[in-house]
Structure 1
Amino acid sequence: MVTNAIPKSALARAATELIRDTESDMLFAHSVRVYLWAAMSGKRRGLRFDPELLYIAAMFHDLGLTPQYKDSQLRFEVDGANAARDFLRSHGIAEAEVDRVWLAIALHTTPGIPEHMHPEIALVQSGAGMDVAGRGFDDFTQAQREAVISAYPRGRTFGTRMIDTFYEGMAHRPASTFGTFNDDFLAFKDPTFERVDLCRVILSSKWEG
């Protein structure tokens, strides 16, 4: 049963309670699914990872999109990473492990880098990519997909709701999306949004004066 794959430690239970009380039902279920996809992927690929740390990273990875960060100007990924760091430190977790979780969350929307790092870091990104955009969909059997979705339903409108959640979590801090694909959410939802063009930034810098 897929729910048996979720860590049962006191730390994992505390994280579950915190995230359930903070995130919407949609984001909570998404976060659990991210862990399940990530853990299955890690086992299939023969990676050695700490299930508890992977679970914490998955549960906190989208926390920065919640209303409690409505005044933050940091990237939402950094807000979630900082919250996970505080949580882990409060439970006496070693700094090396705290750093791995911080990086897993902070880099989960950064393509091309996490997959070359520690398994927990690589797997959070792959789990999120699977759940949001279906990346690696065919790497899972139909039975695996059905088991996860049955335990933690995704719903037919998940894509639209997730785009709305990204937009609501970042509309107040558009500058934080520069250099990431997060500006796609702002451009999709707000026709007046203007992306920063790095070429123009370079050519208009004082070096070019």
Structure 2
Amino acid sequence: MDFSLDLPTGPLADAVLSVVRSSETEPVANHSVRSFYFAQLIAAHEGCLTDAAYDRDLLFAATVLHDVGTGSLAMGEARFEVEGADLAADLLRQHDVPEADVDRVWEAIALHASPGIAERRGVLCYLTREGVGADFGRNAEIVAPWEQRIHAAHPRLDMARSLVDAIVERAARSDAAAPRYSLGGELLRERRADGMTGLERAAAACPWGE
């Protein structure tokens, strides 16, 4: 298939990138953009591009904003996925995105760390989770032909450590941000227990390296 590093353009896309690049660490922001590229590649591989529910602009918003709840705009008052989904929804509303589409993006972000649920909530939720997962090495064979170009444009920069640091810092701010068995809650407990989390160990084994 043809593949391009071109990103969506326009006021909303520009705002999405601006928010991510100004509020997240560079490694996390790069991870978010790579997740969009990988989600597109998976969509093409699985025939989703012709699905009536596929929307490239909404996929861009959901994947690139999926970790905005780990950035400086997040207060640590709820799970980072939910807080990020709320921040993304506010941004989309500022750009007059229809409420039904706002809700789809909210759901995709809120569920991106919920295996077994996101995959059953429609194309946008599924592709958002799959794009994020591919950046951790899941379904690597699908995206491998293009990963060097993607990583050259948006390098990893010890992404997993930066991401876990951000999630844990916000999870430590309130009980609501770290409920038992949530990703944030478990990463916080693992980091406090031995300084290293399972997510970081898994990332170390990722075919893309760190």
Counterpart for residue 184 of structure 2: 182
Distance 1:109 1:37 in 2: 16
Summarize deviations over 1:140-173 as a string: whole Å, max 9, x none. 23x3111111111113x33333222221231223
CA deviations 1:41-85 (Å, max 9, x no partner) are 111111131111011111211111123324x32111111111111
Q: Given the alignment of the two structures, is residue 101 of structure 1 paired with residue 102 of structure 2, yes or no?
A: no
Residue from 51, 55, 61 that aligns with 2:60: 55
Work out which of the two has the higher radius of gyration on C-alpha atoms and give 1 or 2.
1
Is this contact kept in 1: 2:23–2:71, CA < 8 A?
Answer: yes
Corresponding residue for 1:82? 86
- Hey, what does 1:68 align to over in structure 2? 73
State the shift of 1:16 in Å.
1.1
Structure 1 residue 11 displacement after superposition:
1.4
Find the counterpart in structure 1 of residue 38 from structure 2: 37
Matched residue, 2:114 = 110
Distance in 2, matches of 1:146 and 1:54, equals 22
Corresponding position: 1:91 with 2:92: no
Shift in alpha-carbon separation, 1:150–1:50, aligned structure 2, 3 A? same
Query: Which whole-Å CA distance do the structure 2 matches of 1:173 and 1:108 have between them?
Result: 21
Looking at structure 1, the residues matched to 17 and 63 of structure 2 have their Cα atoms a distance apart, in angstroms, of 11
C-alpha distance in structure 1 between counterparts of 2:89 and 2:161, whole Å: 30
TM-score in terms of structure 2 length:
0.82
Q: Could you tell me which residue of structure 2 aligns to residue 9 of structure 1? A: 10
**Residues 191/68 of structure 1: CA separation in 2 closer, same or farther (3 Å cut):** same
Separation in 2, partners of 1:181, 1:86: 23
Which residue identity is paired with 2:17?
T
Q: How many residues align?
A: 188
Alpha-carbon shift at residue 191 of structure 1 (Å): 2.0
Which residue of 140, 145, 151 maps to 2:153?
151
Structure 2 stretches lacking a partner, 5+ long: 195-210
Task: Label 1:182 to 1:18 Cα distance change in 2 as closer, same or farther (>3 A).
Answer: closer
Give RMSD over aligned pairs: 2.0
Contact 1:64 1:78 in 2 (8 A): yes
Moved over 4 A (4+): none
Native 8 Å contact 1:33 1:152 kept in 2:
yes
- Where 1:68 maps in the other structure, the secondary structure is coil
Q: What TM-score results when the alignment is normalised by the length of structure 1? A: 0.82
1:174 Cα deviation from its structure 2 partner = 4.4
CA shift, 1:106, in A, is 0.4
Q: In 2, distance between residues paired with 1:89 and 1:67?
A: 20
Residue 180 of structure 1, CA deviation: 2.3
